[in-house]
Copies of this chain bind each other. A is one copy, B any other.
Amino acid sequence: MKFTEKLANAAGKNHSLVCVGLDTDPALVPEKMGVFEFNKAIIDATADLVCAFKPNFAFYEAMGIAGMEALKKTIDYIPKNIPVIADAKRGDIGNTSRAYARAIFDYYGCDAVTVSPYLGFDSVEPFVNYSDKGVFILCRTSNAGAVDFQSLLCNVPPVPGHLFEIVARKAAEWNKHGNVGLVVGATYPEELGLIRQNYPDMLLLIPGIGAQGGDIEVTLRNGLDRQKAGVIINSSRQILYASKGKDFAQAARKAAGDLRDKINQYR
**A residues touching B (Cβ–Cβ < 8 Å)?**
23, 25, 56, 58-59, 61-65, 68-69, 72, 87, 89-94, 96-97, 99-100, 102-103, 106-108, 116-124, 138, 141-150, 152-156, 163, 166-167, 170, 207, 212
27 A-B pairs (CB sep. < 8 Å): A58-B90, A58-B97, A61-B100, A61-B103, A63-B107, A64-B108, A65-B68, A65-B72, A89-B90, A89-B91, A89-B92, A89-B116, A93-B143, A117-B118, A118-B138, A120-B149, A121-B144, A121-B145, A122-B143, A122-B144, A123-B145, A149-B163, A149-B170, A152-B154, A152-B155, A152-B156, A154-B155
Residues in B neighbouring A62, C-beta threshold 8 A: 99-100, 102-103, 106-107
Extra pairs beyond A56-B99, A123-B143 (8, CB < 8 Å): A65-B68, A65-B72, A119-B138, A119-B145, A120-B145, A120-B148, A148-B170, A149-B167
Copies per complex? 2
**Shortest Cβ gap from A63 to chain B (Å):** 8
Task: Name the CB-closest residue of B to A59.
Answer: B99
Task: Name the CB-closest residue of B to A162.
Answer: B154
What CA separation (Å) do A124 and B116 show in the bound complex? 14
Q: Are B64 and A65 in contact (CB under 8 A)?
A: no
Q: Are B100 and A120 in contact (CB under 8 A)?
A: no
Q: Are B100 and A58 in contact (CB under 8 A)?
A: yes
Q: A141-B93, A154-B154 are in contact. Are A149 and B117 (CB under 8 A)?
A: yes
Q: Are B56 and A96 in contact (CB under 8 A)?
A: yes
7 smallest CB-CB distances across A and B, nearest first, come from A120-B145, A120-B148, A61-B103, A58-B99, A122-B145, A93-B143, A152-B154
Q: Are B146 and A154 in contact (CB under 8 A)?
A: no
What CA separation (Å) do A123 and B138 show in the bound complex? 13
Task: Name the CB-closest residue of B to A114.
Answer: B92
What CA separation (Å) do A62 and B106 show in the bound complex? 8
What CA separation (Å) do A69 and B147 show in the bound complex? 38
Of A87, A116, A148, most B-chain CB atoms within 10 Å: A148
What CA separation (Å) do A62 and B144 show in the bound complex? 32
